[in-house]
A and B are shown apart, each in its own frame.
Chain A
Amino acid sequence: MIINGVSIDATFAEAFPMKATRAIITAQNEKWAFIAAQAMTGFATSVIACGCEAGIERCLSPAETPDGRPGVAVLIFAMGGKGLAKQLETRAGQCVLTSPTSALFAGIESDIKIPLGKNLRYFGDGFQIAKVIDQTSLNPNLAKSSSTTKRYWRIPVMDGEFLTEATTGQVEAIGGGNFLVLATSQPQALAACEAAIEAMRKVPNVIMPFPGGVVRSGSKVGSKYKALNASTNDAFCPTLKGMTHTDLSADIESVMEIVIDGLTKTDIDLAMRVGIEAVCALGEQHGIKRISAGNYGGKLGPFHFHLQEIMA
């Protein structure tokens, strides 16, 4: 398959099951909501060493947030529910509770609940106050479900009160969707990835957890060193073209990868399609030669994203 002179490899990206949650951070203005969200999703590029993968999904208008202030939706992904709960709690405690004027709310409904502010309340040292708002009592026509009763914690802090919902939902998700951009130069590869990320950020339910959404150090499974379970993807390293089993032609000088975590396969499909379209729009004339994907021969995970099917 060739789109605008860019060859789409007949390969697939491999992804794996994860657990995910969404939190909504609000603040006095968008600037401070964004600062809190950036702090909360910092050092969360890869589960390999960060414990979770997290990112800002999108900014929310005051009409979209529970307290009517500007907000930011963040998605956090981890390999298991326990790890996700731990990461959410520590990040909420150290990055959102501490951020001026912030408030924190659940951003996703699920029967499985994980603590959001449930344990942060102890920071209140006994002065914390719970408020339960039972929507079924307020509106008898509502169907009874766990999501209609919400418990909030008001934790006294030095700038006023930190308001947080007690729990948020945990859902099944997919991590590790990806595609590789192969270009004739490093600036061209980066420009194409930037265009892709700009387009992909408009897709809901996905994050691109690496710095700026782009990863230049794609990895393969395993290493010659026993202590490591991932190492550089030498088949796509342009400086190793002459000394390893390379996947690169002579004209490729730089490869960059975009990794996508999403709540469902459909979300990742859409994000990949939008991203690859943006890259292909630049085309061969901007030095983009090929689109490939991190295919580890089935060793990484059960979800396969076939590039040519996605772009069909």
Chain B
Amino acid sequence: MSALTFTLKIRPNQRVDMSPLVCQHLHECEPTEIAAMPLRCGKQTVRVDELFSISGTDSADIIIKNSFDKLDFIGKDLAFGSITVEGDAGAYLGLSMTAGNIIVDGNTGLYAGAEMKKGYLEINGNTGDFLGGALPGNKMGMKGGLILVKGNAGDRVGDHLRRGMILIEGNTGDYCGSRMIAGTIAVMGTTGRHVGYAMRRGTLLLWNTPYISASFNDCGTHTLAFLPIMFKAFASLNSRFAEPATAFNRVQRYAGDMAEMGRGEILVKH
């Protein structure tokens, strides 16, 4: 059974809501039913086959070809299976997904992995603001699973992060780990200003020393036993995080944000 492939025929001027095209919605659907499914495109509703040519039948393995940055909500609420995006993705990629995996070749927009509960999200390019964050007004961001970004991320990475891991091989913007409730964010590149702003608990693991706010207190250098276990768990990833040379267990520990609960930590490779 070949992967169910949606190849974009035309690039509409308006943004497209791709949320109907997830594995659990397409499960046991006939090809004609899938072709006739309605998609929101700006103010209009269009049929799937007006935008995409469709091939393949395996609805647990979806491929979106020729994707571009106006395809929003790809993999929203994904409950099983895998979605591969060839090209860029729009905003809200993998929003609230509960299982499965999404792999994007290119870049993604805002709110990738926002409020995701479980599963695996891999972005091979760059991503926008609020990666793994909470939607505006909501108090909890990502609650589980793993996000891997091989490029750079925007501002507010892991805003209100509750649980799970965000791994970034590149750089992040400002307010990385802002308002974190718990969980782990690891950044190999550089971070912007106000790292860990108002974080309550959780771990920011950084390869490069950031500008540390006055509301974080230096706890000294330490050898932490959980780090080798965490790096060992990354071994199966297709990432620089999986390389044995990447692992370390010696860190400078900063506790904060003391302006909030103050049980969080910024660990900087020492």
Contacts and interface: CB of A to CB of B under 8 A. Distances in A.
Nearest to B146: A137
B265 A131 contact: no
Given A68-B232, A134-B164, A161-B222, 11 more contacts: A67-B229, A133-B233, A137-B119, A137-B145, A139-B236, A139-B237, A140-B100, A140-B120, A160-B224, A161-B224, A163-B226
B84 to A, nearest CB: 12
- 10 closest A-B pairs (Cβ-Cβ)? A137-B146, A139-B236, A163-B225, A140-B101, A137-B145, A133-B233, A137-B120, A140-B120, A103-B225, A163-B226
Contacts of A67: 225, 228-229
A152 B229 CA distance: 10
A129 interface: yes
Chain A interface: which size bin? 20 to 34
B232 A131 contact: no
Contacts of A131: 184, 203, 226, 230
Contact of A127 (B118, B146, B263): B263
A135 B120 CA distance: 10
- Grouping DSSP codes into helix (H, G, I), strand (E, B) and loop, the B interface class, with mixed when no group exceeds half, is mixed
A161 B263 contact: no
Interface string B193-237: 000000001010000000000000000001111101110111011
A47 B146 CA distance: 45
Interface string B11-45: 00000000000000000000000000000000000
Interface of B: 82, 100-101, 118-120, 144-146, 163-165, 182, 184, 201, 203, 222-226, 228-230, 232-234, 236-237, 263, 265
Contacts of B145: 134, 137
A165 B234 CA distance: 18
B263 to A, nearest CB: 7
Nearest to A149: B144
Interface string A78-109: 00000000000000000000000001000000
Contact of A154 (B82, B224, B228): B224
